[in-house]
Amino acid sequence: MKIVALKSENIKNLKVVEIAPTGDAVILTGKNGAGKSAVLDSIFIGLTGKKPDEPIRKGEERAEIKVDLGEYTVRKVFTAKGDTLEVLSKEGASYKSPQSLLNGIIGKLSFDPLEFARLSQTAEGRRAQRKMLMELVGLDFSELDEKKTEAYNARREVGYSIKTFESELQTIGDLGEEPKGASVAEAMGKLESLEKRKDEFNNIHGQIVDTERTKSVVEERCVLIREQIAELQDELADREAKLPGYKKAIEKLRSLQGIPISSEELLVARDEVTKASATQGQLDVYKNRKTRKEKAEANLKSTRNKEQGYDKVLNEVEETRKQRLCEANFPIEGLSVSDEAVLLNNVPLSQISHGEQIMISTMIGMKLNPDLRVLFIRDASLLDSDNYEAISKAAKDQDYQIWMERTDESGKVGIYMEDGSIKAVDGKKSNPAAAAVDAVPKG
């Protein structure tokens, strides 16, 4: 299905334009602002249902678009009150849901092969080209890209942690043998025990001296008592009665006194405490390094497990992406997308010739419009003669109709537009009053 005839009246900057193409290419030429774009916009507005901000030509109250598709005739009218759409069959029957009918026919009418090909010139454009193609074939990787970015960032952080733990383990180095020797607590216990025993010895010794002194006094007193036996008989008996108790006390104290602690023993014990302190310091350093090493090893193991988990997520994302790409209905065999660009047989479009890019883009556009076999090229001035001929041949071979917009002030090429009207066709003047063109524009 192609456009058999177009009539556009008071749409945007157009006056009255009628075009009845019978060939494969319709070329609209003229200066900038002459109305070329408005002709293509008329087709787009009439068929897609898209409404521009100001569809009616300034100074007019009504605008109309009529597109004859052979099987259907589309008529869209704009007034100050709103717009109406009517679709009639070849027999004149109208449809209750005209836009729904058109939506099933028009395909991707807005796809411009030249614009698509031109996007491959910059990195940003290649990403936009990729996005456009994915939207055209119904591919959506947004949730996969988000999942991939999240997993990639998390994996990168895990990678930093792994390097940190590996660096820490390298700094700790080999622990060597654990320091051996008495602990400070043991040495201190031994020293305290000896000092306690010495204090007890000295204390008991003092008691012995005091007791012996007391015994001497008692003995002297006994002598006096004997001399004064008559007077002190009672006292003597009392004192003598106490002597066995003093003796027993002395014996008991001697048994408790034990062996005297020498200064040499104390010096040895203090030296052992010093050595134990040094050993304890080494042991503390060893235990600290051992704890750090065990913690770093555990962290490294845990973090590597996380890294493997994120690797698994990234692999799953990539497998899902590949599966979706395999299932996607790309318009051309060998066409695909990478993370950054559109590929043809795994080669980025930016790496093939510009002419090939244009041809591939044209073929994509044709595949995207199987029912309404119409393509727009809005900046055809950029096409050289070889590319123009190649596109024209492709249109003819594939039975497509291509509408091109081209800046050309000569008036000798295609449909020449001026001030919203057709002024000439292939160099032949047109009658503005009749405002009808029933000719085939030639490239």
Among 65-74, 97-106, 314-323, the range of highest mean pLDDT: 65-74
Residues 161 and 307 in one domain: yes
- Examine the fold and report which residue of 302, 317, 332 is the final residue of a domain before the chain moves on: 317
SS (H, E, C) the chain: CCCCEEEEECECCCCEEEECCCCCEEEEEECCCCCHHHHHHHHHHHHHCCCCCCCECCCCCEEEEEEECCCEEEEEEEECCEEEEEEEECCCCECCCHHHHHHHHHCCCCCCHHHHHHHHHCHHHHHHHHHHHHHHHCCCCHHHHHHHHHHHHHHHHHHHHHHHHHHHHHHHCCCCCCCCCCCHHHHHHHHHHHHHHHHHHHHHHHHHHHHHHHHHHHHHHHHHHHHCHHHHHHHHHHHHHHHHHHHHHHHHHHHHHCCCCCHHHHHHHHHHHHHHHHHHHHHHHHHHHHHHHHHHHHHHHHHHHHHHHHHHHHHHHHHHHHHHHHHCCCCCCCEEECCCCEEECCEEHHHCCHHHHHHHHHHHHHHHCCCCCEEEECCHHHCCHHHHHHHHHHHHHCCCEEEEEEECCCCCCCEEEECCEEEEECCEECCCCCCCECCCCCC
Same domain, 240 and 284: yes
Q: Is residue 421 part of a domain?
A: yes
Q: Is residue 115 a part of any domain in this protein?
A: no
Least confident of 114-118, 203-207, 305-309: 114-118
Regarding whether 382 and 238 lie in a shared domain, the answer is no
Q: Is residue 128 part of a domain?
A: no
Whether 160 and 90 map to the same domain: the answer is: no
What confidence score (pLDDT) does residue 436 get? 41
Is the full-model pTM beyond 0.75?
no
pLDDT band at 74 (very low <50, low <70, confident <90, very high): very high
Q: Which residue has the higher pLDDT, 354 or 45?
A: 45
Q: Are residues 182 and 292 in the same domain?
A: yes
Same-domain status, 226 and 375: no
Same domain, 251 and 146: yes
Single out the residue in 317, 336, 360 at which a domain terminates: 317
Q: What is the pLDDT of residues 374-397, one digit of tens each?
A: 998 888 888 888 888 888 888 888
CATH code of the domain in which 16 resides: 3.40.50.300
Q: Are residues 201 and 256 in the same domain?
A: yes
Q: Which among 297, 317, 337 is the end of a domain? A: 317
In a domain, 101, yes or no: yes
In a domain, 279, yes or no: yes
Does 46 share its domain with 164?
A: no
Highest-confidence segment of 31-40, 107-116, 373-382, 388-397: 31-40
Q: Provide the percentage of residues in the chain whose pLDDT is more than 70.
A: 97
**Same domain (yes/no): 80, 203:** no
What pLDDT score does 440 carry? 39
- State the pLDDT confidence band at 232, using cuts at 50, 70 and 90: low
- Residue 234 predicted with pLDDT over 80: no
Region 52-60: what's the mean pLDDT? 90
Domain-located, residue 363:
no
How many independent structural domains does the chain possess? 2
- The tens digit of pLDDT for each residue in 237-280 reads 788 888 888 888 888 888 887 778 888 888 888 888 888 888 88
In terms of residue numbers, what domain contains 253? 140-317
Residues 144 and 104 occupy one common structural domain = no
* Rounded percentage of the chain residues whose pLDDT exceeds 90: 20
| Across 130-154, average pLDDT | 85
Is pLDDT at 339 greater than 70 in this prediction? yes
Asked if residue 94 and residue 158 are part of one domain, the reply reads: no
Residue 42: predicted pLDDT = 93
Domain-located, residue 102: yes
Domain contains 179: yes
